[in-house]
Amino acid sequence: MDRLLRAVFEKLVRVGNLRVTTAGRMSFACGDGAGPPVAIRFATQEAERAVLIDPELRFGELYVDGDIVIEQGSIADFLDLAIKNLSRAQTSVWSSSLPARCRFLASCA
């Protein structure tokens, strides 16, 4: 799951300074290093899976439930970084068939 999460975040976040720590404690950086540093941590593998399957719906829920923790910066900083990257991209990683593949893989688990 760690490698898939890393691949998705690295494809999505090209601008900014984001560090992600997975539930398995793997840590990786995304973006070009510009701007304030933001760090998030997934508390569970279920949270990772949920974000991969439906990020627009689940990220906020997982944040409120404590399954995603903002370790550096604020939720506003993270949302600013996400919006910059989504508006920058002509097509989002989520508009491809990747979510369908993730949903399929999750249903097999």
- pLDDT per position as a tens digit, 34-72: 999 999 999 999 999 999 998 888 999 999 999 999 999
Place of tokens 């404690």: 25
Model confidence at 92: pLDDT above 50: no
pLDDT at 90: 47
Q: How buried is 81 (Cβ within 10 angstroms: 0-12 exposed, 13-18 middle, 19+ buried)?
A: buried
Domain boundaries, the chain: 2-108
Six-digit token pair at 38?
């933001």
- Please tell me the distance from the alpha carbon of residue 87 to that of residue 70, in angstroms, as a whole number: 22
Query: Whole-model pTM?
Result: 0.78
Place of tokens 């998705």: 8
Which phi and psi angles does 26 have, rounded to 5°? -80, 140
Is residue 108 very low, low, confident or very high in pLDDT (cuts 50, 70, 90)?
low
- Please tell me the distance from the alpha carbon of residue 29 to that of residue 54, in angstroms, as a whole number: 22
- Please tell me the distance from the alpha carbon of residue 83 to that of residue 105, in angstroms, as a whole number: 27
The architecture CATH gives domain 2-108? 2-Layer Sandwich (3.30)
Q: In the 8-state DSSP scheme, what is residue 93?
A: G
- pLDDT per position as a tens digit, 8-23: 999 999 999 999 999 9
